[in-house]
Structure 1
Amino acid sequence: MDWASMVRDPGTGLGAKCLDTSRILAYPDLDSAVYSAKLDALAEEARRETGDKGDRYALAVACEMLARVGYSGNKDDYYDPRNSHLHEVIDRRTGTPISLCIVYAEVAGRLGLELKLAGFPGHVVAVLGEETVIDPFNGGRLVGHDELQSILDGLFGGRLVMNPSFLDPMTDEAVLLRVSRNLRNSYANSYDYGRASACADMALSLEPDSPGDIRDKGIIEEKLGNYSSSLEYLERYIQKSPRGRDVEVITELARATREKLSR
């Protein structure tokens, strides 16, 4: 089964899909069962404290427990690729908003709670039901409308107003698409262009016509010295986004890449 088919497989859980992604990209000896057992242990610790006191109480206890044992956002080294690999997040107890949300959702699922990831712009959060919103990146605290708007203001400088659709649940495919893009950017930031290219391929396998993913694949291929492939992607991007904000920069990169090919 190829990666895209695995991502779309309804019979495979989100956590398993994330671990398989890490195995494919960078950790060929990764044992998923070991990390499933670690998630089981976290859930069992929360279960011992909850008893039969209802879903919201169980979730509050689980959030408090995960924060108490050290799970929080990596604000000091945000673009470390390890922040997006689930097993590394479980072991190191730090990561990105989306990877920490996955940990919370996996633990909650083992407690019988359906905690969903919401594709909040720039900062994935977790949602239980229609009203309970959790921010695992900031210690698993509950957040309300005003706090969500504050997050948007911090990320977008007041240009984006809170919309209820920002809390719509993500599919597994949407989650893994976002994870693959995060990994692509992190690996590129670490100058690991080989793995960045593999992540770009993953994103394109899910959204083959995405202009941004096509552009980024072209940029990464140029970094690898694969000029023919780079030019193909860059020209596709220019064709798809002739009025894109960065089209002049990409056009110049395509020109320079074409020149390298002619030498």
Structure 2
Amino acid sequence: MQSSDFPFGTVPFPPDKIEDKFYQLEFASSEDKSGIITEIAAMIPWQVRVREVADELKDPTLRVFARGVAPVIHSERISLRYAALAEKGNSNHYEDLEEGAFLLSSVTEPELSYLEFRTYLDRIALRVEELVDLNEDLASDDVKVHFLTRVLSQEEGFSGNHEEYEDPDNSYLHRVFVTKRGIPISLSVIYLLVAHRLNLPLYGVNMPLHFLLHFESNDYETYIDPYHGGVMLDRSTCIRFLKANGFQAHDRYFTHASSMTILKRMFRNLIHIYRKKENREMEKVLSKHLLALDSKWKS
């Protein structure tokens, strides 16, 4: 395995130990296989592709076997990681949002590279930082928000997919990176992950029907709608939207959403879409991972 593919430079498990686990799995009884799969899944960091680990095994016959079971191990690892995130609780610092969003994308693409995923977001953040540095004398908080929305909505071209709102690709960040089209929550997550890199006080707002963002500092406050090109809104406009759709303007609709709240909403959106499309397989897979987020997995 190339150390450059692992963010921390080294693979945190002994190769011989994981090779032994794959040997055990290959020759285990049907009753024991599930437990060994869980052990292997727990050993491989979420940033490392399971297939990469399989490719590094010394025994060529074992490599073939490991590649064959890699999808099962990958799926198990996703649930394990979501269960671990659930144990942390509902903090809104967004430290774990990137992991959760990446894992969701990897449900459909197990060979997705976290290094590429992370580098893409790093590049956007670097561009925003460049604009701030070039305009250092003018870089108040409202100007920083302007640069953030300018880079994401104008330079990168992210906007809502109004024509095909229920296309599942709108919810997987790695696909949104390519198509530049998404739904309110997926686009908001991209904004949040870029803002987090820049230490900007940007938060998700889990409003009914339409996920928004809230920038709140001592000097400046605004709401942002990434679905409509990063347009900035005041609270009264948000209240009018709620009332127009039959909701009262409760404060709970304006609280800052935690990573867990965001991830669960992303999952429920996708499960709803796949249910409507009668894709029972994807509905089942995503429901399993949602149970892990709800701390009900394997209970």
TM-score normalised by length of structure 2: 0.63
TM-score normalised by length of structure 1: 0.71
Give the greater-gyration-radius structure (CA). 2
Alignment partner of 1:76 is 2:76: no
2:85 equivalent in structure 1: 7
Compare 48-57 and 114-123 and name the one that shifted more: 48-57
State, as a whole percentage, how many aligned pairs show the same letter: 25
Give, in whole Å, the separation in 1 of the partners of 2:260 and 2:148: 26
Displacement, 1:54?
A: 2.9
1:229 equivalent in structure 2: none
Give, in whole Å, the separation in 1 of the partners of 2:295 and 2:132: 45
1:103 equivalent in structure 2: 190
Give, in whole Å, the separation in 2 of the partners of 1:107 and 1:76: 26
SS of the residue 2:162 aligns to = coil
2:209 equivalent in structure 1: 122
Q: Paired residues, what number?
A: 205
1:209-220 matches, cutoff 5 A = none
**8 A contact 2:205–2:213 mirrored in 1:** yes
Displacement, 1:162?
A: 2.0
1:16 equivalent in structure 2: 99
Point out where structure 1 has 5 or more consecutive residues left out of the alignment: 210-263
Q: Which has the higher contact order (CA 8 A, sep 6+)?
A: 2
1:135 equivalent in structure 2: 225
Question: What do residues 206-244 of structure 1 show as CA deviations (whole Å, max 9, x unaligned)?
Answer: 3478xxxxxxxxxxxxxxxxxxxxxxxxxxxxxxxxxxx
Displacement, 1:9?
A: 6.5
Give, in whole Å, the separation in 1 of the partners of 2:87 and 2:128: 29
Question: What do residues 148-175 of structure 1 show as CA deviations (whole Å, max 9, x unaligned)?
Answer: 1343245x2xx21222321111111111
AA matched with 2:233:
V
Point out where structure 2 has 5 or more consecutive residues left out of the alignment: 1-41, 43-79, 89-93
1:141-160 matches, cutoff 5 A = 141-154=231-244, 156=245, 159-160=246-247
Alignment partner of 1:92 is 2:175: no
Displacement, 1:3?
A: 4.0
**8 A contact 1:74–1:95 mirrored in 2:** yes
**8 A contact 2:159–2:229 mirrored in 1:** yes
1:35-46 matches, cutoff 5 A = 35-46=117-128
SS of the residue 1:8 aligns to = helix
Q: Given the superposition, is the C-alpha separation of residues 165 and 12 from structure 1 closer, same or farther in structure 2, using an over 3 Å criterion?
A: closer
1:47 equivalent in structure 2: 129
Question: What do residues 101-141 of structure 1 show as CA deviations (whole Å, max 9, x unaligned)?
Answer: 10001111122213111111111111121732111111111
